[in-house]
Amino acid sequence: MVRTVQGRDASFSDAGGAGAGEETVDIIHALVREGFRVMAHIGYTPQGGERSRVGGSADAAADLFALARRVRAAGAESLVLEKVDELVHRALADHSDAIPTFAIFSGKSSRGGQSVNVWDAVFRPGFKARYFPPTAEFDTKEFPAAYTEDQIARKMEVLLKLVALGEFPLSPPSALRLEDAAWLAGLNPWAEGCGHLPGRG
């Protein structure tokens, strides 16, 4: 965490990350009040224990939208969306009311950014993974010998080019039903009371 200074870094490199659940919204507010910049992390969080992609139903999407609004109201300046359904990611990131949004394993959007991981760019995961960076070529047992400045620079150069060309990340299939996707298309998820799919409560 770093305190707010005059001439903030527009890249958010001076922002501290906060995994955001309902219980952490008050913490975000307190940090902002003390002058910290906060980038809220919603969707899958390592400490949350979720396994499946987040936002795969209208109700789950509405809950995620409500949390995004709450962390914005608490003072978060930007969002990281991890393992979120791509259509839900797009709804949040591409709306004109959105705060800056960065995706991890959540597909692509027109206006949002991508958070790319240096370790994942170099080392293969220990399982069959379709959506990890294609640049990884080393097993983790080759750490630290393979984790050099030169390797990191080469892998990140290739990975960032793939992102710029729209070739990475891949788009995971959406779990949303057709009527849910149509509901999302006409929704402003940043508007208070945007609600759930009609007939779902």
User: What is the extent of the structural domain holding 57?
Assistant: 12-107+171-192
Please tell me the distance from the alpha carbon of residue 32 to that of residue 44, in angstroms, as a whole number: 23
133 has a pLDDT exceeding 70: yes
3-state secondary structure of 80: strand
3-state secondary structure of 105: coil
Q: 112 in a domain, yes or no?
A: no
Same-domain check for residues 57 and 149:
no
- Asked if residues 86 and 106 have their Cβ atoms less than 8 Å apart, the reply is yes
DSSP states of 27-76? HHHHHHHTTB-EEEEEES-TTT---SPB--SHHHHHHHHHHHHHHHHHT-
Please tell me the distance from the alpha carbon of residue 182 to that of residue 30, in angstroms, as a whole number: 37
Same-domain check for residues 43 and 102:
yes
Instruction: Summarize pLDDT for 59-117 with one digit per residue, the tens.
Output: 999 999 999 999 999 999 999 999 999 999 999 999 999 999 999 999 999 999 999 99
Can 82 be counted among the known catalytic residues? yes
Identify the CA nearest to 64 among candidates 79, 47, 49, 46.
79
CA 157 to centroid of chain Cα atoms: 21
Instruction: Summarize pLDDT for 54-66 with one digit per residue, the tens.
Output: 999 999 999 999 9
CATH number of the CATH domain containing 89: 3.20.20.60
pTM: 0.85
Give the max Cα distance, the chain: 57
The sign of the dihedral angle between the CA atoms of 16, 171, 84, 74 is: positive
Average pLDDT of the residues in 36-51: 82
Of residues 121 and 129, more confidence is placed in 121
Please tell me the distance from the alpha carbon of residue 48 to that of residue 184, in angstroms, as a whole number: 25
**Would you state the pLDDT for residue 24?**
87
3-state secondary structure of 167: coil
In the sheet that holds 16-19, the strands lie side by side as 16-19, 38-43, 78-82, 101-104, 113-114
**Would you state the pLDDT for residue 23?**
75
Instruction: Summarize pLDDT for 147-180 with one digit per residue, the tens.
Output: 999 999 999 999 999 999 999 999 999 999 999 9
132 has a pLDDT exceeding 70: yes
Owner of token pair 């795969």: 56
- Domain count across the chain: 2
Same-domain check for residues 24 and 60:
yes
Q: 3 in a domain, yes or no?
A: no
**Would you state the pLDDT for residue 5?**
35
Annotated catalytic residue, options 23, 34, 77, 82: 82
Q: 121 in a domain, yes or no?
A: yes
197 has a pLDDT exceeding 60: no
**Would you state the pLDDT for residue 52?**
78
Same-domain check for residues 144 and 176:
no
